[in-house]
Chain A
Amino acid sequence: MADPQFLFRDEAASAPAVPLSAFGEDTNATAVRIEPADDARALLPHLDRLSLVEVSFPAFTDGRGFSSARILREAGYTGELRATGDIGVDMLTHLRRVGFDAIAPATQLDAAEAETAFNTWPEVYQATVVDGRKPIWALRHGL
């Protein structure tokens, strides 16, 4: 697995990610890869030994990975959360909002276009909480 093109933490995890099916109580794996159909909640008992969760996007039209990411962050996972696969420029801002701090597109993205994309939204309407951004309603009411 190539290093993530976009990294929002000090350094990228280097342990190889194993599929969820190979990740159980009996292994010492610290990195796991989940596919869209995998239940991210299966990882919740093991968060403290994980340094990397790769969330795979085999097709950019399949948005299950967005829910997987939020579920992990909501449960307190603080390790690297890496989006991989069929990722285009126009997904970048949404990936950040659901808690990804590493993004490894299968095809390298144009750096200038990516920079624009990350800065698409001056503010945000929703509290996803996991992105640390204050939603517009909080700004309106001084919360």
Chain B
Amino acid sequence: MYAYDKYDQAMVDARVAEFRDQTRRRIEGSLSEEKFRPLRLQNGLYLQLHAYMLRVAVPYGTLSSAQMHVLGDIADKYDRGYGHFTTRQNIQYNWIKLDETPDILAELAKVEMHAIQTSGNCIRNISSDQYAGASPEELIDPRPYAELMRQWSSFHPEFLALPRKFKICVIASETDRAAMRLHDIGIRIVKNDAGEIGASFYVGGGMGRTPFIAPLLNAFVPLDQLITYAEAALRVYNRYGRRDNKYKARIKILVHELGLEEYKRQVEEEFAHLQSQDIEPPLAELERIKAHFADPAFEAGLSDDLDLSNPGFARWVRANTAPHKVPGYAIATISLKPAGGIPGDASADQIREMAALAKAYSLDELRVTHAQNIVLPHVKKADLFALWQRLDAAGLATANLDAITDIIACPGLDYCSLANARSIPLAQKISSRFTDNGKEEALGELKLKISGCINACGHHHAGHIGILGVDRKGVENYQLLLGGSEGADTSLGQITGPGFSEDGVVDAIDRVTDLYLNQREEGERFLDTYRRLGMAPFKEVIYG
């Protein structure tokens, strides 16, 4: 894992001091709310329905055991005993006090963490593949590139008042587990025909009210031009992104309105200019960062044998573990989606228990996934049973990764001041119904995603089944979408038709999943069957 040197620590400490001073000025009155708002947002502090909410960055989703432990302690000491893991691999707390926030940031800084640029119209925390450094199929660990970009994007003076927020994702495998093409810039680390490593840039993806899948901007940017190229792409956006309408201010609209070719021409022109400016860190800096991401001390020669005689354990292994690049190890996902639970929430005790489990069984590392789960990336297969028993005791052994009950849901109207409808109670009803009726396991992979408003924080456009909450004359109403996907086969869901009440949408999902079970061909997932049959038969069973 990356470890701060004196410079990184000094920067984060300086940020804490800066925010402490800004908070003081706000409370004493020399800073108005209008001026303070963008400053607190760039430190992850929102004013939500019930209180301030603090979003803490988990850069590229990677955490040490000690860091996770502190996240649990903060939930107890400054919040109400729980935290919420988000779709951008961060954690947020719902009941924060403004005058305590500088102290929270100081506690985070002691374990090399922060809330820098987790909100606001700036480059946000950079996300990545939760299996990075553990997956057998990745080309290379993407996190050093993400860390290089984290440092470049932190407090970048030119890009702190962008037209709108800007999200970057870096992955390095064919399988996309991070919804890379639904980011403002998605980067895939690739190898070209000459065997050199470089970066493919995708630009202008995103969800919200106008969803776009990012098109390819540049298939191969050499590693010694990565920052310069990103800077060129951002400068064109900062200068020409729309500022007249916040709903049209994301880079996806600029790329769409200019056309990809024209945007690309402008970026190339800026890039050619910036190359003369000497702004690129030397490759030695990338190598320095890479050294931090060297493999942990894996044991050699371990057996892949596993005793699956316990059916509950066997089911969990089947559902929640993935192959590891080192023989005898597995990647284990801890589901934060118990039947009837709140997706992504974990109590302080659960957070500390996950920290302890990472220390005992995962070489001190954890990951946060964009599907709001936690990953223990390096677990010896010989330890899986002991791990599962402890997870079970902590209420964390739900075996449902990528199942219909593994729901992504935004906080919705229970917490969020932007929401039009509640998301969580719907997620609870669906996960309870499909656990109780036994269909969850039969349905296999079925990604269900719920957003409580058009901003799409719950990724409803990218769900095999998506749900969008709307406000219909003061009453919560839910639209159903089918056929979205965020993976390598990225697609956007289509609305089925008129919306439903909360119970109505659960019934509709029951009917579309029954149709799938009746119509599926060998090996087909729900998404595959939908793509083969099209919308019509699904519409028929819903409204017919």
Contact = CB atoms under 8 A, between A and B. Distances in A.
Interface of A: 36, 60-64, 66-67, 70, 74, 88, 90, 93-95, 97-98, 110, 113, 116, 120-129, 135-137, 139-141, 143
B285 A140 contact: yes
Interface in B153-168: 154-162
A3 B17 CA distance: 31
A137 B158 contact: no
Nearest to A68: B239
B3 interface: no
A110 B161 contact: no
B285 A137 contact: yes
Nearest to B154: A125
Contact of B158 (A70, A93, A121): A70
Interface string B10-42: 110010011001100100001100010011000
20 contacts: A61-B38, A62-B161, A63-B158, A63-B159, A90-B22, A90-B39, A94-B155, A94-B157, A113-B25, A113-B30, A122-B10, A122-B14, A125-B154, A125-B156, A127-B278, A127-B280, A136-B7, A136-B151, A139-B7, A141-B285
A52 B152 CA distance: 30
Interface residues of B, number: 42
B279 A63 contact: no
Contacts of B31: 88
B480 to A, nearest CB: 37
A130 to B, nearest CB: 9
Nearest to A57: B161
Nearest to B158: A66
B245 interface: no
Contacts of A113: 25, 30
B273 A67 contact: no
Task: List the 6 shortest-distance A-B pairs measured between CB atoms, nearest first.
Answer: A63-B161, A97-B157, A94-B157, A137-B281, A127-B279, A136-B7
Nearest to B241: A64
B161 A124 contact: no
A23 to B, nearest CB: 19
B162 A125 contact: no
Interface in B275-307: 277-282, 284-285, 288
Given A67-B239, A140-B5, A74 B157 contact: no
A90 B17 CA distance: 13
B161 A60 contact: yes
B444 to A, nearest CB: 45
Contacts of A140: 5, 7, 285, 288
B285 A64 contact: no
Interface of B: 5, 7-8, 10-11, 14, 17-18, 21-22, 25, 30-31, 35, 38-39, 121, 151-152, 154-162, 235, 238-239, 243, 273, 277-282, 284-285, 288
A47 to B, nearest CB: 15
Nearest to B276: A74
Contacts of A125: 11, 151-152, 154-156
A139 B280 CA distance: 14
A13 to B, nearest CB: 23
Contacts of A90: 18, 22, 35, 39
A70 B273 CA distance: 12
Contacts of B21: 116
Contacts of A116: 21
Contacts of B159: 63, 66
Contacts of B278: 127, 129
A108 B101 CA distance: 29
A56 B156 CA distance: 20
Listed residue (B152, B235, B281) with the most chain A CB atoms within 10 angstroms of its CB: B281
Choose among A62, A74, A126 the residue with the greatest number of B CB atoms under 10 Å from its CB: A126
